[in-house]
Amino acid sequence: MKFDNIKKLHQKKYRTEFGHFLVEGEHLVLELQKAALHNPLLERSELYVTNAYEQWQSPFKTHLISDRQMAQIADTKTPQGIVALVPMPAAGAPVAAPVAGERAIYLHEIQDPGNLGTILRTLAWFGNFRCLLSPGSVDPYNPKVVRSSMGAIFHAPMELDVALDSLRTRFARIACLDMRGEPVQTASFQAFDCYLFGNEARGVPREQLASLKAQPFTIPGCGAIESLNLAATVNMCAYELSR
């Protein structure tokens, strides 16, 4: 890819146009290299490094660039000096078939990049989860999501732009997390194929929920404060389901 285009990949529209995203820093590049061993798409990643990383061991095609060029493509203020250009799955590309016992976590219009990154990290930690993102969610290839996922973006199966309505025909049993409902530690919480979580500010979309016949569950609290953080809620549910 032309160097001038790589700089543009910090913006979603250019990631979509060029079909690539950026991954920055030693830790994430190591995770990428590990994941590429089992993923032919990631094998086609390329590296951009400064002098500091000239000796870096990598199976990827590697380009040596200047510190000035690195500052242009890096997202951090003081870049380490290593950035990977990673191909994104094409929109509509076939997704991995669900494995036995896999559960879907559906996030409706999640907005905070740090929340999504942390959730992907937790889902990859436990395994056996697939993350479905609604239209209007934060882009998982956003540099802040990639960074806070700490490499989990290469492991947790994801599907983008999944319409809420499509869940009805796809999943027989849908649960949703809400302010009211059965406690998540109830045994019946385990018995669903898909778990739906609402947006950070607006919660679950009430109008559309009814037609999905989603069963509400809640994480019981002491009442001192109004709500839990969205990532905290998803993480605790994933923990309960993996317990």
The nearer residue to its own copies, 9 or 117, going by C-beta atoms, is 117
**Cα–Cα distances in Å, from 179 out to 25, 188, 190?**
39, 18, 19
Q: Please tell me the distance from the alpha carbon of residue 180 to that of residue 110, in angstroms, as a whole number.
A: 20
Residue 128 beta carbon to its own copies: minimum distance, rounded to whole angstroms: 7
The nearer residue to its own copies, 14 or 125, going by C-beta atoms, is 125
* Segment near its own copies (CB under 8 A); pick from 134-142, 145-153, 157-165, 205-213: 145-153
Q: Write the CB contacts of 225 (distance below 8 Å, at least 6 apart in sequence).
A: none
Asked if 221 touches its own copies (CB under 8 A), the answer is yes
Asked if 185 touches its own copies (CB under 8 A), the answer is yes
Which one among 15, 20, 121, 130 touches its own copies, defined by CB under 8 A?
121
Asked if 75 touches its own copies (CB under 8 A), the answer is no
Q: Are 124 and 155 in contact (CB under 8 A)?
A: yes
Q: Where are the beta strands (DSSP E) in 76-223?
A: 82-87, 103-107, 129-133, 158-159, 174-183, 194-197, 215-218
Applying the rule CB under 8 A, the residues between 152 and 181 that interact with its own copies are 152, 155
Q: First-to-last CA distance in the chain?
A: 45
The nearer residue to its own copies, 71 or 179, going by C-beta atoms, is 179
> What is the Cα gyration radius of the chain?
19
3-state SS, residue 55: coil
Size of the site for its own copies (CB under 8 A): 33
- Footprint of its own copies (CB under 8 A): 31, 114, 118, 121-122, 124-128, 148, 150-152, 155, 185, 219, 221-229, 231-232, 235-236, 239-240, 243
